[in-house]
Structure 1
Amino acid sequence: MGNYRLATRDENRVYTSGITPKINGQLVKTGKLDNTTDLTGYVSVAQQAIKNAIQVINQEIFDEELIDKIVMMTVYINASDDFIFHSKIADFLSEYLVEVFGDGVIGSRAAVGVNSLPGNAPLEISLVASIK
């Protein structure tokens, strides 16, 4: 592992590093998404990444504190040049956050296609969360 932290707290904000969909250190899925990819197979993959990110944030907050809002969510998708459904992957993440935290939890977001990700991960997310 490189010389960095998975999350950094600055006052009432927690910033995560790039978080991938891993369980016990292993990616749940690998590979590049293209326009023939069945995206329904990536709901659970995206949810694993967001669960991991929430866990990392929770390690930076005190027992009496809660995540108030996801101020910014950036989604990096390991995508082919012709992939056009970036926002759909981000929607999976947004829907999960609303289920867990309720309406109004999501601030800004960006979904970006990239040529590769560490370990050939299909996606990586980075969050900025405000804490109350």
Structure 2
Amino acid sequence: MSGAVEAKLAELGLTLPAVVPPLAAYQPAVQSGVYVYTSGQLPMVGGELQLTGKVGGEVTAEEAKKLAATCALNALAAVKSVAGDLDRIKRVVKVVGFVASAPDFTGQPGVINGASELLGAVLGDKGVHARSAVGVTVLPLDAPVEVEVQVELVEA
């Protein structure tokens, strides 16, 4: 099933990917009442991590921003896997982004803007959210970024 949100993705030249399979003992997303919580999404495309390393080191901030957008797209796929239809999204409530950072890198908010801007472009006002952008030493598989999303759904 596809609707207005997936049509907007297509208009932006994006395709909703398959849900990234779990790398450990967790589910990509769970629903509790009208809320969907995604697990942390890595910048995987076709089962492959796009880049590895630290932002501000081996990975530029601009590259990491694009990777954060990929994480957000993967999060939307995870949301659809439990909600059934992205048009059920009432609003994005919160985004949490983790940036594997070189010791002197302080641009985490700009990196996570990649996720926030993608959600805004796809969902409009429904994509406006609260957010945290956190610098960390290392992420799974040496990924530069990881993003988790919480959304509220309209009742089915």
TM-score (norm 1): 0.91
- Does residue 71 (structure 1) correspond to residue 93 (structure 2)? The answer is yes
Show the counterpart of 1:29.
51
Structure 1 gap ranges (5+): none
* Helix, strand or coil at the partner of 1:126: strand
The separation in 2 between residues aligned to 1:64 and 1:105, in whole angstroms, is 12
TM-score (norm 2): 0.77
Q: Give % identity.
A: 28
The separation in 1 between residues aligned to 2:83 and 2:117, in whole angstroms, is 23
- Does residue 93 (structure 1) correspond to residue 101 (structure 2)? The answer is no
Structure 2 gap ranges (5+): 1-22
What's the C-alpha RMSD, in Å, of the aligned pairs? Answer: 1.9
Q: Which deviates more, 30-39 or 84-93?
A: 30-39
* Helix, strand or coil at the partner of 2:131: strand
- Whether the aligned pair in 2 keeps the contact of 1:35 and 1:82 (CA below 8 Å) is no
Paired residue total:
132
TM superposition shift of 1:55: 0.2
- Whether the aligned pair in 2 keeps the contact of 1:35 and 1:84 (CA below 8 Å) is no
* Helix, strand or coil at the partner of 1:127: strand
- Whether the aligned pair in 2 keeps the contact of 1:77 and 1:111 (CA below 8 Å) is yes
TM superposition shift of 1:84: 0.7
TM superposition shift of 1:35: 7.1
The separation in 2 between residues aligned to 1:43 and 1:33, in whole angstroms, is 10
Letter in 1 for 2:134: V
Show the counterpart of 1:105.
127
Q: Structure 1 or 2: larger strand share?
A: 1
Show the counterpart of 2:76.
54
Task: Name which of 2, 11, 32 aligns with 1:10.
Answer: 32
Q: Structure 1 or 2: larger helix share?
A: 2
- The 1:27–1:38 alpha-carbon spacing in structure 2 relative to 1, beyond 3 Å, is same
- Whether the aligned pair in 1 keeps the contact of 2:56 and 2:102 (CA below 8 Å) is yes
